[in-house]
Amino acid sequence: MDAPEQPQIYLITPPEIELSQFPAQLAAVLDAHPVACVRLALATRDEDRLSRAADTLREVTHARDVALVISDHSLLAERLGLDGVHLGDAARSVRHARKTLGEDAIVGSFCGGSRHDGMAAGEAGADYISFGPVQGSGLDDGSFAEADLFQWWSEVIEVPVVAEGALDEAQIRALAPYTDFFGIGEEIWRHENPAETLAALIKAMG
């Protein structure tokens, strides 16, 4: 994924999806807004469920010329003909995923709030680095990626950066000058009309 002029939307699926309903929801969002990429990010490790979900969503995304990547499962990405993989272990798997999937695949790396991990993943060949969540909460250890990390990255590093996790309109407004993509998931899927909710978030970028 190349760094765009203004931030683009990178959609993240909920951890659980209903295959009878979610593809239509996703299609409605993709038809309403330009989206750079969709990440299949299910909590399950059941290969059959992941494969069925990937096959179903790929029909939706590829019909609209949108890339589909899967969280962590490089071998499944290759087998199912997906566009790439999003790795959750910072720089550790980047080289292996690149070798498995080839030069044309998207290989992204989630690096929490660590500048060091982000740089290591970039050097290992990641196409983008993802930092987040962008604000603290009572979950996990409460740590988050601070705004000055995105600002520094945008000034110093060429590799595109994604801001994801705990986004709201205020955060989007603050980070829009410094990030290439906003990774948006639960922020919209928990609402009755995800496309409408996304419209408000996109407006905050301006």
Average predicted confidence (pLDDT) for the chain: 96
Give the mean pLDDT of 161-178: 97
pLDDT for 44 equals: 97
CATH number of this structure's domain 8-205: 3.20.20.70
Residue 128: which residues within 8 A CB-CB, separation 6 or more? 1, 106, 108, 109, 159, 160, 161, 162, 180, 181
**Chain-centre distance for alpha carbon 172:** 15
CB 39 within 8 A of CB 183: yes
> Minimum mean pLDDT among 67-81, 131-145, 175-189: which range?
131-145
Give the mean pLDDT of 124-152: 93
Give the mean pLDDT of 17-31: 98
Q: How many CB atoms lie within 10 A of CB 107?
A: 28
63 — pLDDT class (breaks 50, 70, 90): very high
- CA distances (Å), origin 92, targets 104, 113, 128, 157: 20, 16, 14, 19
Opening angle at CA 86, ends 85 and 87, nearest 5: 110
Instruction: Give the tokens for residue 101.
Output: 């999937």
Question: CA–CA separation, 73 vs 86, rounded Å?
Answer: 8
Give the mean pLDDT of 108-126: 98
Indicate whether 3 pLDDT > 90.
Answer: no
Q: What is the pLDDT of residues 178-193, one digit of tens each?
A: 999 999 999 999 999 9
Q: Which residues pair with 128 in a beta bridge?
A: 108
